[in-house]
Structure 1
Amino acid sequence: MDSQILIDLVRNKMPYGKYKGVLIADIPEHYLVWLKQNGFPAGKLGMLLSTMYEIRLNGLTYLLKPLRDKP
């Protein structure tokens, strides 16, 4: 996995919708599940959201903590 993807999860915000302005890493799990069922958007945003879904599904959110603490 490209480490830049993990960095992007804690730095990029959702650009639209109910969670507009929320860091992708902070989007609630129920919304990620809904997106999984209805289809992730195309492009980089969809890739980030699906990656966040997999991280949550597999209990790997601890991987993001060190990245949040970096300036």
Structure 2
Amino acid sequence: MNNDDLQLLVSKSMPFGKYQGRLFADLPGYYLAWFARKGFPPGETGRLLALMHEIDHNGLRHLLDPLRGS
């Protein structure tokens, strides 16, 4: 994880799939868990999905709230 990844979670949208266009930070936990079981895609998208899964799994979504809208 680099310093900009948390900001990307609240500003970048999912590029494909059922939740295309939704912010990474707003993806539902079951969707993130599905990727964790099946495998994250390569590249930045996979890195952000894995990070968001860790945040969600550990109940830390609230830590992203101050970053929204900035």
The bucket for the TM-score relative to the shorter chain is: over 0.9
When the two structures are superposed, what TM-score results if normalisation uses the length of structure 1? 0.92
Alpha-carbon separation, structure 2, partners of 1:44 and 1:2:
11
After TM superposition, give the deviation of residue 51 of structure 1 in Å: 0.1
In structure 2, the residue matched to 1:51 is: 51
When the two structures are superposed, what TM-score results if normalisation uses the length of structure 2? 0.93
- Alignment length, in residue pairs? 70
Q: 5+ unaligned residues in a row in structure 2: which ranges?
A: none
Q: 5+ unaligned residues in a row in structure 1: which ranges?
A: none
Runs of 4+, deviation exceeding 2 Å: none
Give the alignment's Cα RMSD to 1 decimal: 1.0
Alpha-carbon separation, structure 1, partners of 2:22 and 2:43:
19
Identity %: 50
Higher helix share: 1
